[in-house]
Structures are given as structure tokens and as C-alpha cells.
Chains A and B, each alone.
Chain A
Amino acid sequence: MTRWRPYLGAAAALLATGCLRVRYTVQRIEEPVPQTLLDGLRPHHDDLGSCLRAIGAPNFVWEYRGDGLALGWVFADSSGWDFTASVSVYKSASASMSLDFDNLDLPGVVLWFDEDLRLLKWQRGSMRELTQGLRRPAAPDQDD
């Protein structure tokens, strides 16, 4: 019986793949804006052009206080475990339960500019918090 134990174990594991799954995922989205570039920005001196030259194109642009605007860069280097178990309850139907430990809020950087496109401030942090209060992009008038 002992000599069959490894084969029985392998067979049990093979059968279990139909209903159990453990997954480790690493997800990288874009590259973080280097801190040295941010440290080189000078609020009330730098403008939109110099910031775009220094950091490149943002992921997002928002309207800010009328003619002002805000630029947002987002990046992620996150990892997460995902455990899924499913049990067949009736023919082809199955009930399943999933535990997902991923953090969905991504880190990022936002730069704010006034109506003359001069840099007001920049901030690094959670995009969910940084973008609170920024107006969603509005569609241009169709009549123009």
C-alpha cells in the first residue's frame, strides 16, 4: 500500500484541480513616476509645458476650477492571492466561492494647474483620494 501512496496522492491532486484553485498574481501597470522628477518640480514657477517635458504624458486629464486642469499618472506593482473553491450541486451547475485579497485602489501622482497653466501643487498617493473633487471630463458641445 505504501508504494502506491505517491500515485494516489497525485491522482487526488489531479481530481481536485476541477474544484480547487490557488492563484498568485503579480500585476504591473505602467512605471512609477521617479521621485527625483517630482522633487524637481517648482510650484508657481513650472508650467504645463515644463511639467509635460519632465514627466511625459499623463494617464488622465481633468478640468479643475474652470480653466485650470489636473494631470494624473497611475501605476501599480501589486501582488495578490486568490483562492477559489467550487462544488457541483446539480449536473452542470456549480456553486463557487472566491476570496480575493487584491487591493483595487492604485497609487499615483496628480499635478494641479491654475487657469494660466502654472503648476499649483503636486501630490503622490492613492488615486481614489487624490482625485476626489476633480470634475469628470465633460464632452464638448455637439453644436460646435
Chain B
Amino acid sequence: MARANLRAMLRSAILLLLSVLPACAIARQDTNEPLDATVVQSLRPGTTTAREVTEKLGAPTEVVQLGRRVAYRYDAGNTKSSALILLLFNMIGQDTRSDRLWVFFDDQDVLTHYGVSYATHRTQYALPWEDVHEPADNASRDAGRAGLGEPSGK
């Protein structure tokens, strides 16, 4: 009797294992190239012009008129998705971060301020129960990206 129970449990365990084995998937989506921190650090508020910014960084993603001022947005995005696909039940974890640079110009097209954030390198493949915002994770990923650790805006 006990042996029959053990066999039934073993069969169930094998079925469960077989149903889970082919059920993992990952996907990645990138938008634009990550921002180059060394190029951003070469921007000089008070002297750099809008023309010089576009020569260094190319065409902006967005241009916003702010009264007599204007702002350009440069960005890059990265999304990593992980999925566990079971028979009827699926679990999906999705992590999206971006690099963003906003440059602000006065009415003479001279750079007055800029703000930059780098985060595409922090994106993680993670299932729903995993924490992707741990400071230690971010710090280790920051260490591997060139040019970080500088002030994020001027």
C-alpha cells in the first residue's frame, strides 16, 4: 500500500517537473543606444550651443518649447522580461529603465542647464518574487559602466 502511494507521488512529481521544464522564457527590448557619459560631461552650460549639442549627440528624441526657452530630450530604454509559463498559469516579470538627458537652452540657443540619469545598465531579468531595486545590485552595475559617479546635472 505504501509502495503504491510512493509510486503515485513519484508519477505526480515527474509530471510536474516535465510541465515546468520547457516553461521559462526571457526577452529583451532596447530603444536607442545608451547615452555616452563622457560626451555628456563635455557639455558646458553658458558656452555650449544647441548646434554643438546636436553635433555631439545627434537629433533629440523630443523638443519642448518652454516660453522663450527650449529643451531637448535624449533617451535610451531597456526592458528585460522573464516568464514562467505553466499549463494554465503564467508568471511574468518585467523591468524597464532608461538613460535620460534633458538639455535646456536660453533664447540665444546657449545651454543653461542639463540633467542626466543613467539606468539602462541596471535592468534585470527577474521573476515577480525577485527584488530588482536593491541598492547593492545598482552599485555593482554602476561600477561596470564607464563615466558614472559624476554630478547628474548642471
Instruction: Give Cα A118 to B4, complex, Å.
Output: 78
Q: Contacts of B114 on A, CB cut-off 8 Å? A: 52
B90 touches A62 (CB 8 A): no
B153 touches A49 (CB 8 A): yes
Q: Contacts of B94 on A, CB cut-off 8 Å? A: 25-28
A30 touches B96 (CB 8 A): yes
B97 touches A21 (CB 8 A): no
User: How many residues of B are in contact with the other chain, CB < 8 A?
Assistant: 47
A48 touches B132 (CB 8 A): no
A79 at the interface (CB under 8 A from B): yes
B110 at the interface (CB under 8 A from A): no
A26 touches B93 (CB 8 A): yes
Which of B7-15, B24-32, B51-59, B139-147 lies at the interface? B7-15
A56 at the interface (CB under 8 A from B): yes
Instruction: Give Cα A29 to B93, complex, Å.
Output: 11
Q: Contacts of B90 on A, CB cut-off 8 Å? A: 21-24
A130 at the interface (CB under 8 A from B): no
Interface string of A27-59 (1 = CB under 8 A from B): 111110000000000000000110111111111
A22 touches B89 (CB 8 A): yes
Q: Contacts of B136 on A, CB cut-off 8 Å? A: none
Interface string of B108-119 (1 = CB under 8 A from A): 000001111101
A61 at the interface (CB under 8 A from B): yes
- Main SS class of interface, B: strand
Interface string of A1-35 (1 = CB under 8 A from B): 00000100010011011001111111111110000
User: How many residues of A are in contact with the other chain, CB < 8 A?
Assistant: 44
Q: How far is the CB of A11 from chain B (nearest CB, A)?
A: 11
B92 touches A23 (CB 8 A): yes
Q: How far is the CB of A137 from chain B (nearest CB, A)?
A: 4
Given A24-B91, A28-B132, does the pair A61, B64 have CB atoms closer than 8 Å?
yes
Given A57-B100, A57-B101, A139-B63, does the pair A25, B92 have CB atoms closer than 8 Å?
yes
23 example contacts (A-B, Cβ-Cβ < 8 A) are as follows: A6-B15, A21-B90, A22-B89, A22-B90, A25-B92, A26-B94, A27-B96, A28-B96, A28-B133, A30-B98, A31-B122, A49-B45, A52-B113, A52-B114, A52-B152, A52-B153, A53-B151, A57-B100, A57-B116, A57-B117, A59-B98, A139-B63, A140-B70
| Residues of B participating in the A interface, judged by any CB pair closer than 8 Å | 8, 11-12, 15, 19, 45, 62-71, 73, 87-98, 100-102, 104, 113-117, 119, 122, 128, 132-133, 151-154
